[in-house]
Structures are given as C-alpha cells and as structure tokens.
Structure 1
Amino acid sequence: MSSTLPDGWLPEGTALDVYRTDYRPKHNRPRIAAGADVYTLACERMAYVMDNHDRVCVAFSGGKDSTAVLNVALEVANREPRLQRHLPLRVVFYDEEAIPYETEEYVRRVGLRDDVALEWYCLPVQHRNACSRRHPYWWPWAPEDEAKWCRPLPPEAISTLPGFPTWPQEERLTIPNLNGLLVPPPHTTAMLMGIRAQESLTRAHAVRLRHIDNYIVQYKIKSKDRQPAAVVHGNLWKAYPVYDWRTEDVWAAVRAHGWDYNRAYDVMEMAGLSPGGQRCSPAFGEEPLQKIHTYAKCFPDVWGRMAERVPGIGAAYRYARTELYGYGQKPPKPDGQPWPDFLAHYIRKHSETAQPKVATRIKEIITRHYAKTPHPILPKAPHPVTGLSWTFLLTIAMRGDFKERRQEANQLMHAVETTHWQNYAAELAAILDAGTGADLAHPRPLPADPYALIPEQYRTKG
C-alpha cells in the first residue's frame, strides 16, 4: 500500500525539511474574577451593544440561553431612556419544525408582549441530518415534505422572505447565510445571541481570542460556505452578552427575576435529565443526535412525527452513541494500512455530494497542521502545537462535521503543555520501535530521536 498522502492532502511549499523545537502553542486566556455578578455584567454589555449599534435583534430559539439574552435586553432597554429607541425589541425566531409543542407555546407567549416585535420564520432552511451519511441535509417546512411535517404550520408563521430561494433545494440557505437578508444596510445591527462558553470548547475558544469586546464579533461568511443568495454587507455583528454564564446562573436568574420560560425544561427535569443535558433544538444534528432518545421519552407527540421525518432516524435512534456514528470506541485501523487510506474508506460512506466537503475539511485541517509544524501526525497523541491526531481526523471522516464544530486545537485544553509533549514523544518512540512509521504517511523521514523534538522548557528535569 502507498504510504504517502493522497494528492492534494498536503499543502504545497510546506517547510518539512528541518525538525525545529522552538514552537509555542497558543494559550487561551484563563477565566478571572470580574468583581461583579454575571447578571450585572450582562446588563453592562447589553447597554454597550445597544449604545454602539443602530439596531439590535435577539436571535431567539425558545431555549434557556436565548431566554436569558431576551430578558436582559428587555430589562436594559426598558430602564434606560436613551435605549428605549430599541423598543419594541426585535426578536427573530427560526422555527425548526421538529421541536416540542412547549417551545411553540412559549414563543407565542413571548410574541404577545407589548415590548416585543416577534418575527416567526418557518422557512425551508438547510439543516444538518446526521442520521444518514447518504442524506446529510434536511429542510424544515420544506413544501415538498408537507405530509411529513412534525407540527402544523403556526398561524404566526412567515413562510417567505425576499431573497430566500425555495427552489432548487441545493440553493436553500443555512440560517447563518440567511441572517444577512434580515439586516440590509446602511444601519449597523447587532444580533444578540445566547452563546455561552460553558456549552462547548469551541464556544469557549471563540470568546477567548480577543482581549477587548471579546463578546462582539463581526458577522462573516466563509467563502467556501457562500451560497448563491447569501448576502452580507459588513453591517451585521454578533453579540454574546451572557457568554460567561453557567447553566445554574441562567436558572437562578429565571427564579430571581420571575422570567417566563420554556416548559419543555420542566418535562425534561421530571424525566430525570440533568440541567446540562437538556436541549429543545431538533435532534438530527451531529451533537444533538446523542440525545435523540430523550425526544421519544419526553415529547412523544412530536416524536411520533419525527420518527418518519428524515432518512436514517431509525438507525440513529438505536445506534447514535455507537461506533456506527463515530462515538465511543473508534474502529481499529488494519495493520499496514496508511492512515489516509483508512480515512478515505469512511469518507466514501458519505453521499457523492458530501464526500468532497468531508475531504476538503480534512485537507484544511492537515494544511493548518503543516503550516505550524513539520512534525508527523500521530494516531492518538494530539500534537502539542496543533492538537491534531489521526484519531481526530477519523472522527471527522466518520461524522462529517459539516458545521465545523470540532476543532483540533480544543484537544489541547485537557492537559498542560509538558504532558502533551511527553505523550507525543512517547507515542512516536513506540511507533519507531514497532517499525510502523510508514502508516503515518508522513512525507519526510521521521525524526530519529522523538524526545529531541520537545522544547527545552517542557522537558522533564532530572
């Protein structure tokens, strides 16, 4: 078998000839005490955002985090005379169809408030269907699937939007691409979002990259994701005013301030789900798929329709947390097979349209690795600079990761640098001793002394 990377998997002009030892991983800034409670800080951030943008709108899902954002925004706008220009507060709700009836009822109650201007969109946006590799997308409220809709179309529904293409299917926009249609220039608009760092390593990383206004991000669409009707004018910003809240902070605020909330959480609580594991979003995505069984248990009226809504849901219900869907124990690589060939086997399990996307995603990750270091990618140990390993790439090949929520750098957040370097060198030494280095498909000879790769400050003394 070939022990080289497939054509195009390795970036051209990569410096791989010299094994340097002067690399430095990027450090995330640690959490620090702010000297105030999270509610006070969120109100201060909200006032700052409202002061510095012509308009604001709340990206509302009916979940607990967007509930916190909504109520903080209403509190600040109502009590500050200069900010009452934002009232009634624009609230945008994308109804994703496969959601509990409790969510629909809660959103309806929010829409009845005098200080809220609710826009209830029921559009066939492109969503991820992780239940099936052959059918990687689904479209809520798709007109061609009306007989399979999980719920009747709400009477408040806005089912058309200028600039949104309904046909053909492949041109339907994702929600991120659709947002640009809602905020035409010249006004600057801040979209208030319930993104919290506690939710995932990716979200934590997103709010630790900037030292000033780390919770305000200009809205951009990556060129490779750009769809035909996507519109971004540079006037839209995302703001995460509750980014440092924990789950217990959200529920403490609900109780302390008497906020209304989605009663679906009561159902999940009574079913024994922990607060951190409670979700109201559709269960067809890569991460929510792990909890698909909770819909059958907690929301049987909707589950009865969900069970027939997307291809592959029956298999996902049974095997979502198994190797079949890339969770748990990874399948062993056959001896002597290069890792790129092993990944290619799983990439070919995706649909013909999805295969290039998965392969491109893997190529980009490998490109990032070799742009930072010439060191080989190892089966298990994440590289101490990039966080990359072949096992990480295998997960991408199996699941697809179409939303790019899995980032290799996050693999470095579980241990100190010294440990990462020692683990990396030890695994590479074991590979050299076993004579299996060809499986790594590294484009240059492997270093003779793996421990010489460890920077001086990370070497074990004595």
Structure 2
Amino acid sequence: MIVTKESKYTVVEAAYKRIENLFSNGVKIYFSFSGGKDSLCLAYILLDLIQKRRIDPSLLHIHFIDEEAIFPCIEETVKKWRKKFLMAGATFTWFCIQVRHFNCLNSLQDDESFICWDEEKKDVWVRPKPSFSVSSHPLLKERKDTYQQFLERIEADGITIIAARAEESIQRKKYMAKIGNVTLGGKCYPIYDWTDNDVWLFIKNHHIEIPEIYMYMWQAGASKKDLRVSQFFSIDTAKQLVKLNEFYPDLMERVTRREPNAYLVSLYWDTEMFRRSSQTRRQLQKEGGEEKKDYKREVLKILSNVRANFRTEHERKIAMSYKKLCIKAAPLIQEREWQKIYEALITGDPKRRMLRAVIQNIYSKARRET
C-alpha cells in the first residue's frame, strides 16, 4: 500500500536535506549521471552543496555510462558538467564500455541485445569515444553485463544516488514506497517525490542549461511526459528516431549504418510493431480501413505454442510469464489489457515492464469494481 504524507519541507528543501544526510555518514557517494533533465537537477544540487561547503566533494564519485547512440547535445552537456565536478574536487568517470542494451529493433533478428561500443563493429560506431573515456574495468564482464549489473558491482562499497522519480511509473512508485534505511551498496533517490512541474520549475529558477534536444522535441509536439531522452533503441525511446532527421540531419545516417533496422521506425512507427495506438490508427479502424483485431484470440493463439512462436529461451521465458498471467487472471482481463499483452508479445518485453504494468492495471480495476 502506498501512503502519501504532507511534509513541512518543499520537495527542493527535502532533496537538499537528503543529500546532506547521506554525505554526513562519511562513505563513498556514487552519482549515476545521464545528462537528462532530472539528472541535471540533482547535479545542480550536488554542486551547489559542494560550493557552499556543506558536503565533502572527495566522497563524490560520478559515473556516466556512455551508450554510444546518444544525441550530440547530451554529449556536450555531460562534458560541461564533467569539467564542473572535476574542478569542484569530485571524481568523474566516463565509461565507454561493451555492455548489453536491450534493443527493440533486434526482435527482427536472432540476437536480443545491442552491444554499446561493440569492438566487432568499430568501423560503424555512431560516434568516436571521447579521448578521456574509460574502456575497461576489472569488474566488468564485457558483452555480458548490462550497465546496471556493472554499476551495482563497482558501487557496492558506497551509496548510489539516482535521479529517478516515483511519478514516472506506478511500478517505480511502489518500489520506492518500500525503501527503508539505505545501507552500503544501496540506492537513494533524493528527488523521488518531484513532479514534472517541479523539475522544469527548478530548471527555470536556477537557469540550468538543458540539452537542446528537449526544445526540439517540444517544438515537434512532444508532451511533457514524453520529454525523455535515452539511448535510441529501447522500445520506450525508439520513437525519437522518427524525428532524428529534423534534429540532426547527419545523425540518422550514422545510426542506420550502426543499426540497419533503424529505418523501420520511420516506416512502421505508427503501427503495433512499436506499440502505437495513435489517433490515425484508431480512425482507420473506425472507418474500416484497418481491421480491428480480437486481441484475446490473438494472444491465446500465440501462447498456445510458445516454443514454436518464440525463437530464443529468453523470449520463451517472458512468454511463459504472460501465459501464467492469462491462465490466472483471464476473467479479469479486459480488451485494453489483452491489446497490451498482444503488443508486448509481438514487440518484446525483455525487462517485463509491460507485464508489471498490465498486472497492476488488471488488479487495480478489479479492486475498484468490487
């Protein structure tokens, strides 16, 4: 159960106090920096506290995992903050390492992962590595680790602060509601209770320079909740590829050379291949231009033979999780959830994010109706 309480502090004041409390323990503090809007807010607070001599910069170790396929303005933003933190006395490590990254475009091939900075594809990297970047580490399992697994291993002797917020998803809110005292190897979320409005107001009030891609996305019609910048090939962010030519004319060519299937996003973005249910598609269905699917029937058909319909063991494992849900909760699943399940099975759900969301929706509706 999630309980919300009023506080005598504003969310900004609370974030400052949480960070000061963490540093008062005298242990290493790791900061996973991304260059995105939330991360910039947390970076500003950290630097502000250092400059006011309220926290010890020698305890602060910033890690940036360069995912290769990132916007040029993100790279420039991170470089600027790297210089600021180094000048303030903190440690800043820029990793360009071979880690696995889930790639929704690879569902069309036999492999399931995008390898960042793949040495076997060095000639088609999206961009060159910065000269100061770190390319290896004794604790890294190259080409096997995700960056999350790698960071957990190297940050086990301290506390990691992350600029994640509960508002971004119900699953994250439930997870954060269960967090108790933070110990070594644990994670802390100083701005977990900030809303989108809190983030943008903080950026405005403190004149924080943001990557220009946010302005381009806003001008292109993205809503506030869609202003999220990440590696291009995850199912949540692949839609950014559609607008790439408008933002950076030469970048799409480099991305396509690195990942040939990237062109499919431009061709098929407004289809269920990328979990889209746009106004255009709904209007076509209404007018009879696109046949409306019986998603329940389609799901049951796909799950009737998991071994034949899914190529890899990982895909089959995910499919079995959905099959168990369908067997257990079939009477409670409504048309919208059947559609979500169908789209997840078609496009892939490697981290089970959609599965958790569907489960939450099904049982939340059931509780409201009883």
Please indicate the TM-score interval, normalised by the length of the shorter structure: 0.7 to 0.9
Paired position in structure 1 for 2:359: 409
Aligned to 2:112: 136
SS in 2 for 1:265: helix
2:343 aligned to which of 395, 407, 428: 395
Structure 1 gaps of 5+ residues are: 1-26, 219-234, 383-387, 420-457
Q: Name 2:262's counterpart in structure 1.
A: 313
How many residues end up aligned between the 2 structures? 350
| 2:215 equivalent to 1:266 | yes
Name the aligned partner's letter for residue 152 of structure 2: G
**Equivalence for 1:249:** 198
Which region of structure 1 is more displaced relative to structure 2, 145-154 or 250-259?
A: 250-259
The alpha-carbon deviation at position 315 of structure 1 amounts to: 1.6
Aligned amino acid, residue 41 of structure 1: A
Separation in 2 of the partners of 1:159 and 1:66? 23
Q: Which residue of 2 aligns with 1:112?
A: 83
Q: Are residues 260 and 117 of structure 1, via their aligned partners in 2, closer, same or farther at CA, if it must alter by over 3 Å? A: farther
Deviations 1:310-332 (A, max 9, x none): 24222222213412334338843
* Structure 2 counterpart of 1:205, from 164, 174, 193: 174
CA distance change for structure 1 residues 347 and 199 in 2, over 3 Å: closer, same or farther? Answer: farther
Contact 2:333/2:362, CA 8 A, preserved across alignment:
no
RMSD (CA atoms): 3.0
Query: Residues 44 and 392 (structure 1 numbering): CA distance in 2 closer, same or farther, change over 3 Å?
Result: same
Question: Which amino acid is the alignment partner of residue 294 of structure 2?
Answer: P
Structure-to-structure mapping, 1:164-183, within 5 angstroms: 164-166=140-142, 169=143, 172-183=144-155
Q: Distance in 1 between matches of 2:246 and 2:6?
A: 40
C-alpha separation in 2, matches of 1:269 and 1:326: 22
RCO comparison, higher one (Cα < 8 Å, 6+)? 1
2:368 is matched with which residue? 418
Deviation at 1:40, TM superposition (A): 0.5
* C-alpha contact (below 8 Å) 1:100/1:264 kept by paired residues: yes
Asked if the contact 2:306/2:320 (under 8 Å) is kept, the reply is no
Is the Cα contact below 8 Å between 1:271 and 1:298 reproduced in 2? no
2:39 corresponds, among 37, 62, 66, to: 66
Q: Among residues 302, 305, 308, which one is paired with 1:342 in the alignment? A: 302
The residue correspondences of 1:287-298 to structure 2 (distance < 5 A) are 287-298=236-247
Q: How big is the shift at 1:369?
A: 8.2
3-state SS in 1 of match to 2:186:
strand
Q: Is the 8 A contact 1:358 1:396 kept in 2?
A: no
Whether 1:162 aligns to 2:146 is no
Change over 3 Å in CA distance of 1:153–1:394 after alignment to 2:
same
The one-letter code sitting in structure 2 at the alignment partner of 1:139 is I
Q: 2:12 aligns with which of 25, 39, 47?
A: 39
How far is 1:376 from its partner? 4.6
Deviations 1:270-320 (A, max 9, x none): 444333322321221011123331323223332221122224222222213
Asked if structure 2 preserves the Cα contact closer than 8 Å seen for 1:58 and 1:69, the reply is no
Residue 156 of structure 1 and its aligned partner are, at CA, apart by 1.9
Q: Which amino acid aligns with 1:123?
A: I
Alpha-carbon contact 2:139-2:154 (below 8 Å) kept: no
Bigger radius of gyration: 1
- Indicate the residue corresponding to 2:316 in structure 1: 359
Please say which of residues 270-279 and 89-98 is displaced more in the overlay: 270-279
Query: 1:395/1:256 Cα in 2 relative to 1: closer, same or farther (>3 Å)?
Result: same
User: Does 2:23 align with 1:50?
Assistant: yes
* In 1: Cα distance, 2:342 partner to 2:195 partner: 32
Q: 1:390 to 1:279 in 2, by over 3 A?
A: closer
Question: What residue number does 1:146 align with?
Answer: 122
The DSSP-based 3-state class of the residue aligned with 1:191 is strand
Q: C-alpha separation between the residues in 2 aligned to 1:342 and 1:33?
A: 47
Deviations along 1:204-230, one digit per CA (max 9) or x if unpaired, are 2222234x45xx5x7xxxxxxxxxxxx
- Would the alpha carbon gap of residues 348 and 128 (structure 1) be closer, same or farther in structure 2, given more than 3 Å must change? farther
Show the counterpart of 2:235: 286
Change (3 A) 1:267 1:334: closer
**Equivalent pair of 1:124/1:142 in contact (CA under 8 Å):** yes
Gaps spanning 5+ residues in structure 2: where?
A: 283-291
Query: Cα offset for 1:69?
Result: 1.6
**d(CA) in 1 for partners of 2:101, 2:75:** 19
CA contact (8 A) 2:272 2:343 kept: no
Contact 2:306 2:316 in 1 (8 A): no
The residue type paired with residue 79 of structure 1 is K
Looking at structure 2, the residues matched to 266 and 325 of structure 1 have their Cα atoms a distance apart, in angstroms, of: 24
Amino acid at match of 1:287: D
Q: Distance in 1 between matches of 2:309 and 2:23?
A: 48
Question: What is the aligned-residue identity percentage?
Answer: 21
Question: Partners in 1 of 2:216 and 2:253 — Cα distance?
Answer: 17
Residue in 1 that maps onto 2:226: 277
Q: 1:280 to 1:209 in 2, by over 3 A?
A: same
Does the 8 Å CA contact 2:295/2:342 hold for their aligned counterparts?
A: no
Distance 1:348 1:325, change over 3 A: farther
